[in-house]
Structure 1
Amino acid sequence: MTTRRNRPVPRPPEGTPPPAELARQARAVLADAVRIARWAAVERDRDRDRDATSATQRAATALDLTPAQVRAGWDRARLAGLVELHGDTARPGWRLRAWDRDDSAVLRGWVALFDAWSLVHPAPDDVAPAAVAEVVEAFPQVLSLLQLSAGPVPVPALLDLLQQRVAELREERCEVAPDGPRPQPLPGPDSLSRLLDWALEGLAAVGALTLGEGHATLTPLGNWAVWVKLEQICVAAQSPAGHIEQSAEDMLRGCARLTPGPARVEYRAWLAARPVRSAVAELLAVARGEDALLRGLAFEALRVVGAPAEAEVRAAAEEVSLRPYALLWLAEYEGADPDDAPDVLTREEATWLWVDTAAAVADHGESALLVRHLESAVQGTVPALLDEVRAVGHPRTVQVLVALAAAHPDPALAKAVRRAAFQVHTGGA
């Protein structure tokens, strides 16, 4: 922990433009996507028809673009988080609202597009999907070569590296599953060359590199993005106390001792080392457990996951014990200020969350924290709080009230809380 906290903030490679200039370049790459997203937001507020073809034509006319440009811009807006799909409804994303004032939001949006480069430019139809997937998996190595070269790299050199990396990946898979089906032969030189061209064109389309006569060069944005990805791998590899290799529950218990900033670094390191879907499932499994402290920390880790966790969190909102946490997560994800997010909870949900948080404090905190937690209740008086706490039916109600009665310095209030605990325990009114 000491080593991690004293680790200096890494500096980008020499010659990398400052964040403001990188954000300016990212805004230029996504200019059409932003225009389309803003037009769509205005049309949504006007409650216009939802026919996609009609909307595309109207957008093309209004923005002086072709329908193909509108469709491409809409895909970019969606991939960059400028718009968010909720079922059949598209809503403006929080990045769109922050676009003109928040450079970090712009860069995160562009990196999301960079990560999705293989979706921007359709792969050749006559190449097997498995071969396309192998090239996508192998391409980070190609990007690393481009980044380390700090200049133009001949396409033949990139092709040699790509072929070598695809072969290595196939060999690794055979070692893991020696009894599995034999892999198909490597794509021929012509197919692999076409897939390399496709990948380079896709990355050029998102502004990550430029293509010259027989060579490719990372743009400043692309160079910075590859450096960021490499740095994330280094952070994951340097995770203290082995948290990166631990289960979600053990990792969260370790993070309970950290302040929010270092804890978020730890969450990112842990998440970077595993597939997103399984990581989200593991965090939600911990949240369903009996430890209220880990429940809260699990949703803090899910905030680091962001958009890929939305569907699972939205489903979790149907579970009583997770609903308040999930609703707060969704409110913040959709752009609400964290201070205003609790407004989305009903009085009953807020009371449930108050009891759950009190249970976490009672289990892991100090008596003084539990007394201060009493002041955070939405109810104006202690009798009103006790009435609603008894009605909400939280399984830890009795333990919380007993702990609060033992901790509170006011004898009269402590007596009232003990009486309420006894009534809940015996099933009285």
Structure 2
Amino acid sequence: MSAEPHPTLPPVRLHSDAELARDALVAPLFARAVRLARWAGPGTRVEIGGELAADQLPQAAAVLGLDADDPDGPVHASQAWRVAVDTGLVDVTEPDEDADDPAYGTAEPGEDLALITGGAPGDVLDLWLAALDTVLADAAVPDLDDLVDALDDGGGLDFDRLDWNPAREADFLDGVLANLYLLTVSEGGAGQGPVPLPVLAASMVVPDDMGEPTDAVLEQVSDAMMRLDDQFRQLEPIGLVEFRPVDEELMAEADDDELLPDPALADEEDIARYGMVRLTALGLYGVRARMLEAGVEAPAIGGLADKGADALLEAVSHYPEHAAQAEIEQWLAGRELPTAVAELLDAARGDDEGAPLRRLRCQQALAPAGPEAEPAVRAVLDDPRLGGLARVWLAERGVKDVPAPDGAMVFWLTVDTIAAQLAADGEAEELPQLMESLTGHHTGFFDEVWRVEHPATADVLEAMGRLHPDKKAAKEARKAAFKARSRRH
């Protein structure tokens, strides 16, 4: 997959291999390929390239249960046969000039066919990924009408007339799937909602820094929509996507440069007429597998279960909160809680830039822990970096003998908490209220906080100067930030 990697991909929540393998086996095109592999035998004839002999296509279509009167039946049978050959479900021997019937070769079930019923779920998924490669390659080929129009006088393809570059088309389709993957996992890792086709087409065409798209750009978006409509029709049978095509009546009514929804449309059904696409659970798995093969870092929830606490906190510091919580829960599930809590607290130490957010994720990890975590938490009460966190955890559980923090620890914990929130969510809407809550209980807060020995003190005070809802407090924060900067220099 040659699409450019996104700088930070949120982690995806994948189904189990067993569930995904079941999805693969019922994907219509893959299921047809398996049936034809079982049908292949001594009487099966193939042509150059392993294609099924033309006069056998109706029989193959019948094996697949396709309507004998359906003119597309042989087409579907040919596609399923090609998938079976490309995945190794069928072994072919191409025509031998010395054979009694040199016009045809033979075919038989391949060794990999046994993996369908006797292999592990991962074996089935490997076969499905190979089938996906075949379908993606087919989807990047122009449609038949374009190919006919591009034939030269000698019957060969005139690539200049066709305006088709195979590598460019493959890259375009990979980029589309990468953007669809990103839109899907950004919704929460499970891909709950379909994406309107115009949105996906625009993501490939409209520059990020463009304001109002020009007519020329809109025409490119329309062209991309029509390409994607054709390509997703081909990708749906392999189980990659759920797809609602562009409404045929809409295409008949509209010129190409008008085939875009009015931005004022609010009715979901009207928007859906322009096409809707959603990656399936199997599709998320397939696109991620192609990304990993291309060297793109595409994490999956559960992927850190065998890593140390330091790797866990470092990774989940860059995850959305819901994904971080899910990853932490899976990490804790395979460990003895007292030991895991001690490891998490140790990994939360540090004065580097990422340390406040690591401590926030550590606090998040400790939130559901029960009484068995208390000894490990008590062990860090005197730690200048973790003592405040430990006191909060113990106090929330109603523990009576928790030593009160001194002023220095309170101020340090306040700075650390706000620094973590800034790192996690930026200047989120809730942050001003958090600032007001943390500072409202301390008279003379800004007279003291600038002295706190925390690497983020000045940055936090500057943020409070911008965001604190109380204007007087915001002014005091700006003065304190100046003192903190001066002190460091």
Question: Structures share a fold, TM > 0.5?
Answer: no
**TM-score (ref. length: structure 1):** 0.37
Which structure carries more helix by proportion? 1
TM-score (norm 2): 0.33
Kindly name which structure, 1 or 2, has the bigger radius of gyration based on alpha carbons: 2
Point out which structure has higher relative CO (alpha carbons under 8 A, 6+ apart).
2
